[in-house]
Amino acid sequence: MAAPTLSASKLTGSWGRVGLLAPAWVGVLLAIVYGPTLFGIAGSWFDPNADMGHGLAVPFVAAYMAWTKRVSLSRLPRTPNVFGLAIVLWGALQFTVSSAADWIFATRSSFLISLTGCILGLWGTRVLRELAYPLGVLLLMIPPPTFLQQGITFPLQLIASRLAEVSLDFLGYSVLRDGNILELVGERLAVAEACSGIRSLYALFFFGVTYNFFFVRQTAVRWILLVSIVPLALLGNAARIVATGVVGQYNRALAHGILHETWGYITVFLAGGLVVLLHFVIHRGQNLWRRSHA
């Protein structure tokens, strides 16, 4: 049986050129008002101190997520909701106050608030609910507040240092740890903020959220995969430090060169692969359990 389709007249009145005229104007106004803010967000993606290297991919991934919902969206009626205007006003107020106070995160996140209000006001609750996941993903393109960044980074440095110390000692290397400083024979490793693993954690969390959208349907499994990212990121970063320390015992220049940077990317890919493997194991276990209880 052929899938039901909307007639041309109904589509035009709801989601066609006529129906998209108002959203187009709203989009232009949002771009004008938030233009400098959006440029600031984009600039953070290329700032090595912001740890937002994954940010460039976020809007494209979110847009593709929304695109995959085009069929279900086309079947939803357009029911404008007046509460959308209240959310837009909230976003405008937050933008004004935070801009005056130089609260960067609040200024940038006000864009998403205003965008949410526009969607609710133009198309209604059902459309907003359908687009909730892609809208939530867009939050990952904005660097977190400075206090949160600092509050996460230092504990990650200490945990990575401790794990590296234990691992190096297990491998038979003499190591002495003082905070985030590792002293080896002829080698001194400082686990700086850039080596805390927070960049890997952000990138892996984005990967996990994206993977969940396309491949995972059960909410419980989604949460398990997201929670598993934290220990995987920590272990991967600790492995990077251990590799640097081991190589440094034989070639100090090589340990602090391109190998050190390359290992960071390798650990991210390996951790991502482990997330996929964990999903496979969970899925396989669920199938075996169903068969045994059938």
Q: Supply the DSSP string of 123-177, one letter for each residue.
A: H-HHHHHHTHHHHHHHGGGSPPPHHHHHHHHHHHHHHHHHHHHHHHHHTT--EEE
Q: Could you tell me the pLDDT band of residue 1, with boundaries at 50, 70 and 90?
A: very low
Regarding predicted confidence, which is higher, 187 or 225? 225
What distance, in Å, lies between the first and last C-alpha atoms of the chain? 32
pLDDT at res. 4: 44
Q: Could you tell me the pLDDT band of residue 256, with boundaries at 50, 70 and 90?
A: low
Which phi and psi (to 5°) does residue 177 adopt?
-105, 135
User: Under a CB-based contact definition with an 8 Å cutoff, are residues 74 and 4 in contact?
Assistant: no
pLDDT at res. 293: 78
pLDDT at res. 18: 42
Distance CA 157, CA 167 (A): 15
Q: Which of 125-134, 155-164, 255-264 has the lowest mean pLDDT?
A: 255-264
In terms of phi and psi (left: phi > 0; alpha: psi -120 to 50; beta: otherwise), the region of 51 is left
pLDDT (tens digit per residue) in 3-18? 444 443 443 444 444 4
Taking residues 154-183, what's their average pLDDT? 82
- CA 254 to chain CA mean position, Å: 32
Distance CA 105, CA 108 (A): 5
Percent of the chain residues past pLDDT 70, beyond the cut: 87
Distance CA 80, CA 89 (A): 16
For residue 136, pLDDT beyond 50: yes
Taking residues 123-142, what's their average pLDDT? 95
Q: Which long-range contacts (CB under 8 A, 24 or more apart) does 37-40 make?
A: 37/95, 37/107, 37/108, 37/110, 37/111, 38/111, 40/104, 40/108
Regarding predicted confidence, which is higher, 26 or 275? 275
Taking residues 181-199, what's their average pLDDT? 72
Among the listed residues 152, 159, 144, 277, the one whose alpha carbon sits nearest the alpha carbon of residue 206 = 144
pLDDT (tens digit per residue) in 48-103? 777 888 999 999 999 999 999 999 998 998 898 999 999 999 999 999 999 999 99
For residue 218, pLDDT beyond 50: yes
User: Under a CB-based contact definition with an 8 Å cutoff, are residues 268 and 236 in contact?
Assistant: yes
* Exposure string over 59-83, b if 16+ CB within 10 A, otherwise e: bebbeebbeeeeeebeebeeeebee
Question: What is the helix (H) or strand (E) element at residue 227, kind and residue range?
Answer: helix 219-248
- Tell me the domain boundaries of the chain: 8-143, 147-292
User: Under a CB-based contact definition with an 8 Å cutoff, are residues 198 and 149 in contact?
Assistant: yes
User: Under a CB-based contact definition with an 8 Å cutoff, are residues 156 and 234 in contact?
Assistant: yes
Among the listed residues 145, 119, 148, 147, the one whose alpha carbon sits nearest the alpha carbon of residue 132 = 119
pLDDT (tens digit per residue) in 116-132? 999 999 999 999 999 99
Could you tell me which residues come within 8 angstroms of residue 9 by beta carbon, excluding any fewer than 6 positions away? none
